């Protein structure tokens, strides 16, 4: 039995003798199947050709990126808190070098995922760090490809972790789309980890809000308003997106308001 990993979205599946016929995440309109067709690899296959690179982004925050690029190419973010470290989102590759580097930073006591495009090999990562719990919004039950007792579902709009960060369900890109608030980040001004819920644009002065990024399907204006209404009361000044260098370093709330106004103007929406 092998845990196959989808080459396009990077999700690791439950153990099977043969590769699965379909990837549910890639067949959804928020992803896509490669022109060459559905293809799979395994962790051993990945380890032969890829490695992870860790980089400190600010005190208490480290990004983990797989090189050469694999699947979506996202970064996972390790938030170090006084009561433990949280891995926010995930990548597909985990190897001994990565585990050692993260152990040196204090390990991982919990994992939390924003949405299924970022699940990677999350169960494998949890097992490598003492079966740390994976916090997932209950809206994601149907998207779990490798079920495991380490997955803990939370309900409602907000979930506090012991490590000192809070998960907020904002919806939009997925019904359960989650962001992470790290109050101690940015020297105490607060950091929002936003992934695809509020996608940091390459100009690093705006965010976007899409139902499907690869297939360019926008969200309704009322949904954009609802996402903005959920994050504006939170205390933060900086946003990190889920790709390298996609960060709004300061005054992120102004950037969100500016971006939402521009977006709604573009789709002809009036509140």
Q: Tell me the window of 9-17, 104-112, 124-132, 215-223 that interacts with Zn ion (CB under 5 A).
A: 9-17
Q: Shortest Cβ distance from residue 114 to Zn ion (Å)?
A: 8
What does DSSP assign to residue 172?
A: S
Helix (H) or strand (E) holding 22: none
Determine which residue in the list 26, 167, 228, 256 makes contact with Zn ion, applying CB under 5 A: 26
Distance CA 12, CA 108 (A): 19
Q: Shortest Cβ distance from residue 8 to Zn ion (Å)?
A: 5
Distance CA 241, CA 46 (A): 24
Residue (172 or 190) nearer to Zn ion, CB: 172
3-state secondary structure of 9: coil
Is residue 148 within 8 A of residue 113, CB to CB? The reply is no
Q: Tell me the window of 19-27, 131-139, 236-244, 259-267 that interacts with Zn ion (CB under 5 A).
A: 19-27
Residue (26 or 61) nearer to Zn ion, CB: 26
Distance CA 125, CA 104 (A): 16
Which residues share a beta bridge with 179?
Answer: 168
The burial class, CB within 10 Å (0-12 / 13-18 / 19+), for 269 is middle
Is residue 85 within 8 A of residue 163, CB to CB? The reply is yes
Residue (97 or 215) nearer to Zn ion, CB: 215
Which residues share a beta bridge with 25?
Answer: none
Record the tokens describing residue 69, joined without a space.
């690029």
Considering only residues 175 to 214 of the shown chain, the ones binding Zn ion according to CB under 5 A are 196
Give the total of residues touching Zn ion (CB under 5 A).
Answer: 8
Q: Shortest Cβ distance from residue 17 to Zn ion (Å)?
A: 19
Determine which residue in the list 4, 5, 13, 23 makes contact with Zn ion, applying CB under 5 A: 23
Considering only residues 108 to 127 of the shown chain, the ones binding Zn ion according to CB under 5 A are 117
Determine which residue in the list 4, 12, 25, 191 makes contact with Zn ion, applying CB under 5 A: 25
Q: Is the peptide bond before 68 cis (omega within 30 degrees of 0)?
A: yes
Q: Shortest Cβ distance from residue 190 to Zn ion (Å)?
A: 24
3-state secondary structure of 73: coil
Helix (H) or strand (E) holding 270: none
3-state secondary structure of 100: helix
Q: Tell me the window of 17-25, 155-163, 180-188, 214-222 that interacts with Zn ion (CB under 5 A).
A: 17-25
Q: Tell me the window of 6-14, 42-50, 140-148, 237-245 that interacts with Zn ion (CB under 5 A).
A: 6-14
Q: Which residue has the tokens 């809000």?
A: 209
Residue (87 or 186) nearer to Zn ion, CB: 87
Record the tokens describing residue 222, joined without a space.
């009322």
Residue (33 or 150) nearer to Zn ion, CB: 33
Write the interaction track for Zn ion spanning residues 120-159; mark x where CB under 5 A is met and - where it is not: ----------------------------------------
Q: Is 167 in the site for Zn ion (CB under 5 A)?
A: no
Q: Which residues bind to Zn ion, rule: CB under 5 A?
A: 6, 8-9, 23, 25-26, 117, 196
């Amino acid at each position: 039995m092998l845990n196959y990993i989808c080459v396009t979205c990077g999700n690791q599946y439950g153990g099977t003798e043969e590769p699965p016929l379909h990837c549910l995440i890639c067949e959804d309109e928020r992803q896509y199947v490669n022109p060459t067709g559905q293809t799979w690899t395994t962790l051993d296959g990945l380890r032969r050709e890829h490695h992870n690179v860790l980089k400190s982004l600010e005190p208490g925050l480290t990004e983990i990126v797989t090189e050469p690029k694999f699947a979506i190419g996202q970064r996972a973010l390790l938030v170090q808190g006084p009561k433990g470290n949280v891995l926010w989102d995930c990548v597909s590759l985990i190897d001994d070098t990565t585990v050692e580097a993260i152990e040196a930073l204090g390990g991982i006591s919990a994992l939390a995922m924003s949405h299924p495009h970022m699940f990677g090999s999350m169960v494998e990562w949890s097992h490598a760090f003492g079966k740390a719990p994976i916090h997932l919004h209950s809206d994601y039950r149907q998207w779990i490809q490798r079920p495991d007792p380490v997955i803990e579902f939370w309900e409602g709009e907000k979930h506090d972790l012991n490590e000192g960060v809070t998960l907020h369900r904002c919806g939009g890109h997925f019904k359960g789309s989650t962001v992470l608030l790290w109050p101690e980040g940015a020297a105490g001004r607060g950091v929002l980890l936003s992934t695809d819920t509020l996608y940091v644009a390459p100009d690093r002065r705006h965010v976007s809000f899409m139902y499907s990024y690869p297939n360019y399907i926008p969200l309704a204006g009322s949904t954009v308003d609802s996402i903005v209404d959920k994050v504006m009361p939170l205390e933060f000044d900086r946003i990190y997106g889920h790709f390298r260098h996609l960060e709004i370093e300061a005054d992120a709330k102004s950037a969100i308001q500016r971006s939402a106004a521009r977006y709604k103007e573009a789709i002809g929406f009036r509140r």
